[in-house]
Chain A
Amino acid sequence: MAEKWGRRAILLVYAIMIVIPLLVVLFGGFKNIGQLYSSPLGPPVPPTGRNFTSLVTTANIGVPILNSTALTAGTLVITLFFGSLAAYGLARIKGWIGWVIWAALVLGMTVPAQTSLVPLYVTFRSLGLTDNLFGLILVETVHAIPVAVFILGGFMRALPRELYEASSIDGAGPWRTYRSVIMPLSAPSLAATAIFLFVIVWNDLLYPLFFTTSPSVQTLPLALLAFQGEFLTNYPAIFAGVTVASLPVVVAYIFLQRYFVAGMTAGATKG
């Protein structure tokens, strides 16, 4: 009996520790500075929408929202396409060549990104790809592809070999088999991969910080970081920004939770 209550107490305390910081942000965005400091935890009475309007008027948050959307969408489309092509090919290529290609891709995943970032920056600069959205999509894609091949490859290898063979007996070439047989069957693992990459790319700070400088290509995490300088300790404004920046991921989490857990645990094995 005592043990049962002990377990519940631990879970309850931890749940409170998770919820409180989240509530502080959610409520804080609707408070003015005075309200936040006098009652950081309580609900905003009366709520104010001024922090959110000032995001638009002062901080011009529309630009980073568009940039982050384009960056994430572009990266996901290219990565899933190239990644699934590679995973499919590697699931069917026999012998050492397939193994070497797999090893090269997985090596790209185990090397910490920082180690290749400086030369990559120099290459991109000479190609005119720094400080623009297309270049940034390319950088995110390059780093996302090994993860995608890894997750999708695991799935495609697990498909029964007969599936590949049956369709080639029916006269379908590799492309046809990829498009009409394997892709539809891979939908759940594509979704899990997409979710995993969505969270990573949407929230990423490292590559935008390295590869861009202009406000016109600023992504949301960069814009948030800039708020910190701009609003200093105006936490209500910062919290409003945090709420807006997190909203798409939170909404996706609520509706697609299954894929989140699947994708983020599969992604965790990349260590």
Chain B
Amino acid sequence: MTSAGEPDVGVRVMASVQRRRRGRGATRTHWALYLFPVPALALVVAFLLLPLVQSFQYAATDWNGYSATYKSMGLDNFIHAIFNDSLFQNSVVNTLKFTLVVVIVQTMLSLLLAVLLVKNSRLNIVLRSLFFFPTILSSVAVGFIWAFIYDPTFGLMRGLFQMVGLGALSGSYLGDQQAAIYWVAMVQIWFHAGQLMVVFIAGLQLVPQELYEAADIDGAGKWARFRSITWPMIAPATTIVVAYTTIQCFKAFDLILGIAGNPPGTALDILSTRIYTSFANSQYGYASAESIIFMAVIGIVVLLQRWALRLTQARE
């Protein structure tokens, strides 16, 4: 159908969800059709897009959410958050550490699992549904489960370390100021690797088998096959997985509160929990400024990733 590596594959990866079809023919649109999107559009404009604009207005004030008066702050909220607020800076660093580890490890793991389970055998289908299972649980529940597993006295993780003879290395996990965020990153991976595995499987199943047959004739090794066929061919799926994982990480709000309690300590405070804490402390103006920085950081990270991925996906 299409030549290898065209972006077209990506559209099919996700079962044509994003496809837009241009209307053919010149028949005019029935007037009543314009009424159909009205309820949805009205809700989204009034309660999503308008508040988004207001967020920028709030961000330029010191409003506490209740008093009738407030001071105009200009860009002071932004400047304070970025340059002076160590709690905010800490949450940015934590978010980036968390996202970096999860995006790299989870993407590799889910791709590995997808490659191992790509064939539709009965056992593979059972394993896929098992690996997908954690995704359907609530983040709060998952947080509790792992808070117990990481319990430094009774938890299973300690038992695991002792079993393999590394009991001395068993630390306090979530109590460890430096490492806690990485232990939670592991939970996030346990939670969602199976979901993104399914996206990769959908992508892998679209790779034309003839390409592998041709590679076999050329005598290509496993790694060469992966590097020059699989990886470029699943590029659209990878792009989706990486972007989705990133956004999921930035929103890991529920998981953090479930595992660390509300509000979380500084070791586990990420941007989304930081914004909530500011809001809960009635710093409405400041929370809005933080949330705008949050949006900007997500945007920058996603764009950087697209650029980096494209470099690796270029076909040799």
Give chain A's interface residues, CB within 8 Å of chain B: 7, 10-11, 14-15, 17-22, 24-25, 28, 36-37, 40-41, 82-83, 85-86, 88-90, 92-95, 97-98, 101-102, 104-105, 107-108, 111-123, 138-139, 141-143, 145-146, 149-151, 154-155, 157-158, 161, 165, 168, 173-175, 178, 199, 202-206, 209-210, 220-221, 224-225, 228-229, 233, 235, 238-239, 242, 245-246, 249-250, 253, 257, 260-262, 264-266, 268-271
Contact = CB atoms under 8 A, between A and B. Distances in A.
Contact of A97 (B34, B138, B148, B196): B34
Given A86-B37, A104-B41, A257-B129, A119 B54 contact: yes
Given A154-B17, A206-B254, 11 more contacts: A37-B154, A92-B29, A105-B41, A119-B288, A142-B47, A157-B20, A158-B19, A158-B21, A203-B140, A257-B129, A269-B17
B308 interface: no
A15 B130 contact: yes
B71 interface: no
B17, B49, B194, B287 interface centre (most CB from chain A within 10 Å): B17
Nearest to A254: B129
A40 B146 CA distance: 13
Contacts of A138: 43, 47
A93 B23 CA distance: 8
Contacts of B202: 265
Contacts of A120: 47-48, 51
B254 A108 contact: no
B40 A119 contact: no
B14 A266 contact: yes
Interface stretch (B171-179, B211-219, B271-279): B271-279
A119 B36 contact: no
Interface stretch (B94-102, B225-233, B242-250): B242-250
Interface in B119-142: 127, 129-141
16 contacts: A21-B149, A86-B39, A86-B40, A93-B37, A108-B49, A117-B291, A119-B288, A120-B48, A122-B284, A157-B20, A224-B138, A235-B144, A238-B148, A239-B145, A246-B137, A266-B15
A104 B154 contact: no
B250 A94 contact: no
A201 B138 CA distance: 10
A41 B127 contact: no
A116 B55 contact: yes
B170 to A, nearest CB: 15
Given A112-B247, A249-B136, A224 B144 contact: yes
Contact of A203 (B21, B139, B155): B139
A111 B52 contact: yes
A225 B140 CA distance: 7
A150 B20 CA distance: 11
B116 A10 contact: yes
A253 B133 contact: yes
A110 B151 CA distance: 37
A138 B40 CA distance: 12
A115 B52 contact: yes
Contacts of B258: 205, 224-225, 228
